[in-house]
Amino acid sequence: IPVDPFDLVIFGGTGDLARRKILPGLYRRFVAGQMPADSRIIGAARGELDDAGFQKMVAEAIAEFVPAERQDKAAIKAFLERVGYVSIDAKGTGGWDALKSRMRENVVRAFYFSVAPALFGDLAERLHAHGIADAWSRIVVEKPFGRDLASAKALNAVLAEHFDEHQIYRIDHYLGKETVQNLMAVRFANILFEPLWKAEYIDHVQITVAETVGVEGRGAYYDKSGAMRDMVQNHLMQLLCLIAMEPPYHFDPDAVRDEKLKVIRALDPVKPEDIVRGQYLPGGGQGGYVEHSEDPASRTESYIALKCHISNWRWKNTPFYLRTGKRLRARASEIAITFKEPPHSIFDDAQGWRENVLVIRLQPNEGMNLMMMIKEPGPGGMRLMQVPLDMSFADALGAEAEDIPDAYERLIMDVIRGNQTLFMRGDEVEAAWAWADPIIAGWEARGDRPQGYDPGSSGPEDALMLMHRDGRRWREIK
């Protein structure tokens, strides 16, 4: 379904995120017929470029980041006709009048701040001062949304000076992933799971986001961030919320976000012994973490595992184990919900027995697996074995994996539609920092060093212990 016609201004339009994600994503929505022909995309950045120069850059970005079979010459040409550029001085006056003259009446106006957070205030202020933004305009901001509670509050305050909360779209691209949204469909559109979705029946939950890439080229940012700030405070926290939240009364932005906020607020402080931090060592012909960092003695973690508890009726005593890291064995993100034992076994030979596990694979090979017990086939008596009820979304839907819209495509269309359900509200972000801050402050005060781990492994040894000592095991990363 096409969205309303729009003018989308991308500040930082020549930057990496715009080239990799935003512009190719918009092209794909254009090809899919979702971006109306009378919409405009305006790149805005410091560089002196004209429309043709920017169009050339956009064409190159499409060539590089859209799969070859999805590139169509005529469509690219038509798309580029809707693309323009304004050179702008975020901290000065240059370019703002030119930008204003590009904006049209009676279309949705959206402003994507794909720039360093330090510029958010300047952009917001100038959009208003020059009469470019009005009460119907929307702004989109990227992570990192602060690096602690104080800085997140300051960013929220600076944006709030010029925009209402309903105009602010804080992106967490994990919420735009197809399978992440499916999590809500699975939970709330089926009767099967919800009655069992509580501490009484769920032993524990594992959330894994494993990456094979390192921090190459991003050392300067990453070293001040680390896995906790870069991944846990936002992406893993959002996944945890979607698993743990109460059913919202409606699939409506504030109803959903209210429920997520309650989960974050119910999180207990994490004990030092429930945290394992790691840093990848050199290996596989590549340097270790510290080689990418500006500080050879860096204590920044490229891996973190932690055990969390949610203090409410539903989850009392069901731990949530989270882990994420770079340079691990495989790129694999999944949520695994392990159920408890049946109250009584009627089978003598329960040797083959394993817990039911619902595995939601976020990437790659998006899908779901329900691990079930069946009888081992053959005449050997009643022996049990575990088999997966396996559903890959691509197979089930007969779709090619690349036909599933990328997170950014979906989220940008939601901005134009004015739907904030998949965006973080200011109080949610602040609550997540309020939880993360003391954890980080704790290891800084103790002077903890991350444990080294080999690239291509499943992380530091101590992370195994985090589960072993509870009589549980991490799922294999593969």
Nearest Cα residue to 169 out of 433, 409, 412, 7: 412
CB 61 within 8 A of CB 24: yes
Secondary structure of residue 401 in the 3-state scheme? helix
Min. distance of Cβ 181 from ligand BG6 in angstroms?
A: 14
Min. distance of Cβ 284 from ligand BG6 in angstroms?
A: 18
Min. distance of Cβ 175 from ligand BG6 in angstroms?
A: 11
Q: Distance between CA atoms of 223 and 266, rounded to whole angstroms?
A: 30
Query: With binding defined as CB under 6 A, does residue 334 bind ligand BG6?
Result: no
The amino acid sitting at 139 is I
Min. distance of Cβ 92 from ligand BG6 in angstroms?
A: 30
Looking at the Cβ atoms of 103 and 422, the one nearer to ligand BG6 is: 422
Is 230 labelled as part of a ligand binding site? yes
Looking at the Cβ atoms of 202 and 413, the one nearer to ligand BG6 is: 413
Is 19 labelled as part of a ligand binding site? yes
Q: One symbol per residue from 172 to 211: x for binding ligand BG6 (CB under 6 A), - otherwise; what is it?
A: ---------------------------------------x
Min. distance of Cβ 55 from ligand BG6 in angstroms?
A: 27
Paired strand residues for 337 = 205, 358
Query: With binding defined as CB under 6 A, does residue 230 bind ligand BG6?
Result: yes
Task: Please give the structure tokens belonging to residue 124.
Answer: 């917001």
How many CB atoms sit inside 10 A of residue 92's CB? 10
In angstroms, the Cα distances linking 15 to 23, 44, 151 are 11, 10, 23
Query: With binding defined as CB under 6 A, does residue 366 bind ligand BG6?
Result: no
Min. distance of Cβ 360 from ligand BG6 in angstroms?
A: 14
Min. distance of Cβ 455 from ligand BG6 in angstroms?
A: 15
Is 160 labelled as part of a ligand binding site? no
Task: Please give the structure tokens belonging to residue 226.
Answer: 């680390």
User: How many residues at the interface with ligand BG6, by CB under 6 A?
Assistant: 3
Looking at the Cβ atoms of 333 and 369, the one nearer to ligand BG6 is: 333
Residue corresponding to tokens 């956009």: 58
Looking at the Cβ atoms of 143 and 277, the one nearer to ligand BG6 is: 143
Residue corresponding to tokens 């809707």: 82
Q: One symbol per residue from 269 to 308: x for binding ligand BG6 (CB under 6 A), - otherwise; what is it?
A: ----------------------------------------
Looking at the Cβ atoms of 243 and 370, the one nearer to ligand BG6 is: 243
Residue 346 half-sphere exposure toward CB, CA atoms < 13 A: 1
Q: Which of 162, 235, 292, 309 is catalytic?
A: 235
Sheet holding 40-45, edge to edge: 83-87, 40-45, 6-11, 108-113, 138-141, 168-170
Burial 417-431 (b: 16+ CB within 10 A, else e): ebebbbbbbbebbbb
Is 18 labelled as part of a ligand binding site? yes
What crossing angle do the helices spanning 149-160 and 426-446 adopt, rounded to 10°?
Answer: 150
Is 258 labelled as part of a ligand binding site? no
What residue number has its CB nearest to ligand BG6? Answer: 230
Looking at the Cβ atoms of 230 and 334, the one nearer to ligand BG6 is: 230
The amino acid sitting at 436 is A
Looking at the Cβ atoms of 211 and 223, the one nearer to ligand BG6 is: 211
Secondary structure of residue 26 in the 3-state scheme? helix
Whether 235 is a known active-site residue: answer yes
Residues in the chain: 478
CB 133 within 8 A of CB 98: no
Sheet holding 357-363, edge to edge: 384-392, 367-375, 357-363, 332-339, 202-210, 320-325, 303-308, 275-280, 451-453
Annotated binding site for substrate: 173, 177, 211, 230, 326
Catalytic residue numbers? 235
| Chain residues in the site for ligand BG6 (CB under 6 A) | 143, 211, 230
